Amino acid sequence: MKFRLGDPVRVIASFSQYFDQVGTVADIKENQSARFHVAGIEDYPLWFEPHELILAEPPQEQP
């Protein structure tokens, strides 16, 4: 599996309005092409294909 639940991911799909935004994998559906639900970008579910995401660094907490 490319990503696991809770992984921080960055959107790399250049055609997407969410390009370069970071969210968290919240759900995985093995039986669909857009199998990764990424939370934390919008208030509604966003689903992406594996090639549209890369693993991102977790956000740094401000001191």
Domain boundaries, the chain: 8-55
Q: What does each C-alpha distance from 39 to 25, 32, 63 come to in angstroms? A: 6, 17, 24
Query: What is the C-alpha separation between 29 and 40, in angstroms, rounded?
Result: 18
- Is the per-residue pLDDT at 62 higher than 80? no
- Is the per-residue pLDDT at 59 higher than 70? no
Contact (CB, 8 A) for 34 and 49: yes
Give 5-51 pLDDT, tens digit per residue.
999 999 999 999 999 999 999 999 989 889 999 999 999 999 999 99
